[in-house]
Amino acid sequence: MAYDDITFEVEDRLAFVTLNRPEKLNALSNNLRGEVMHAMKEAEANRDVGVIILKAEGRAFSAGYDLSPARAAGDDSPYVHPRSGLPDTGSTHPGPMEWSRHVVATNWTIWELAKPVIAQVHGYCLAGGTELATICDFRIVAEDAQIGYPPVRAMTTMDMMWSPWHLPMAKAREFAYVGDSFSGMQMAQLGWANYAVPQDDLASFTKTFATRMAHIDNDMLMYSKRAVNRQYEVMGIRTGLWSGTEIQGLSSYRPAGGEFGRRSREDGLKAALEWRDGPFRDFRGRYDSAPHERPLATGDGPGSGYA
């Protein structure tokens, strides 16, 4: 099938799934997410493929979930459920605060995939982009990549609360509370990434790593992946990530929960991002037009901002 927001290629024992919305910093629209999961299953079904590499075009792996109206998939998209407009996870996830539950349900597809997936990360890897990379089996990152979760500053808690599973406790809290970005080098030192390499070497290093693994037969890789996954499941990772989705829903109902959404509707998304990041002076907060000394958000009632 033809894809609009990704590309899919097979080379020898490797499959390459490439996010391909560079003009939007590979923001994760529903159609793009649906295409990724479809391509992953195509690679899984191909007996010639041993390892899958998830990468991206342009200057970012992914800036996170698409917060614009372009998030919605077209009515004719074959990669989303016709009732929900979301990648099909079995449930259509009706209800007002089901976004994060759907995110986690979708990401379990990669967790359960019979083949290992390597995320090749460069540039910005933010918010939902971190979740997509984290659910992969391995992460190889550019040393200067920027990995962070800025939505926790003003929107909601992390949709998929992965940081306690991959980072030391103090850093897990810093990542989840403040939203500052860490470099690829730092994330390798903390254990989230397997390797951090210079940007110019990223593609070749990742391909060499994947090719080495692909010398192992598919069934052995499947059982190794399943054996490791089940250990984490015994330790409670499924329960932990599911419980995080309930807290994410609650966080959107706090008094200030609607502030970001209101500003986005009234002033536009870029202005809302400048307001969110202004005091931190990073991301959109770097701009001179950002409110660097803005008042603390107090809110005007419950909202439903997506992280």
Give yes or no for residue 301 having a pLDDT over 50: no
What mean pLDDT comes out for the span 183-211?
Answer: 98
pLDDT band at 95 (very low <50, low <70, confident <90, very high): confident
pLDDT band at 184 (very low <50, low <70, confident <90, very high): very high
Query: How much is the pLDDT for 300?
Result: 55
Instruction: Name 124's bridge partners.
Output: 60, 146
- Comparing 291 with 68, which gets the higher pLDDT? 291
What mean pLDDT comes out for the span 89-103?
Answer: 89
What mean pLDDT comes out for the span 66-86?
Answer: 87
Query: How much is the pLDDT for 75?
Result: 74
Give CA–CA dist 34/28, Å, rounded. Answer: 10
What mean pLDDT comes out for the span 139-146?
Answer: 98
Cut 0.85: pTM above it: yes
pLDDT digits over 25-52, tens only?
Answer: 999 999 999 999 999 999 999 999 999 9
- Comparing 70 with 303, which gets the higher pLDDT? 70
pLDDT digits over 243-300, tens only?
Answer: 999 999 999 999 999 999 999 999 999 999 999 999 999 999 999 999 999 999 987 5
pLDDT digits over 203-223, tens only?
Answer: 999 999 999 999 999 999 999
Query: Above pLDDT 70, what percent of the chain?
Result: 97
pLDDT band at 172 (very low <50, low <70, confident <90, very high): very high
- Comparing 220 with 76, which gets the higher pLDDT? 220
3-state secondary structure the chain: CCCCCEEEEEECCEEEEEECCHHHCCCECHHHHHHHHHHHHHHHHCCCCCEEEEEECCCEEECCECCCHHHCCCCCCCCCCCCCCCCCECECCCCCCCHHHHHHHHHHHHHHCCCCEEEEECEEEECHHHHHHHCCCEEEEECCCEEECHHHHCCCCCCCCCHHHHCCHHHHHHHHHHCCCEEHHHHHHHCCCCEEECHHHHHHHHHHHHHHHCCCCHHHHHHHHHHHHHHHHHCCHHHHHHHHHHHHHHHCCCCCCCHHHHHHHHHCHHHHHHHHHHHHCCHHHHCCCCCCCCCCCCCCCCCCCCC
Query: How much is the pLDDT for 92?
Result: 86
Give yes or no for residue 22 having a pLDDT over 50: yes
Query: How much is the pLDDT for 59?
Result: 96
What mean pLDDT comes out for the span 219-245?
Answer: 98
Q: What is the mean pLDDT of the chain?
A: 94
| CATH of 6-217 given 3.90.226.10, 3.40.50.720, 3.30.830.10, 1.10.3720.10 | 3.90.226.10
Which residues does 225 contact at the CB level (< 8 Å), separation at least 6? 113, 114, 115, 116, 137
Query: How much is the pLDDT for 69?
Result: 86
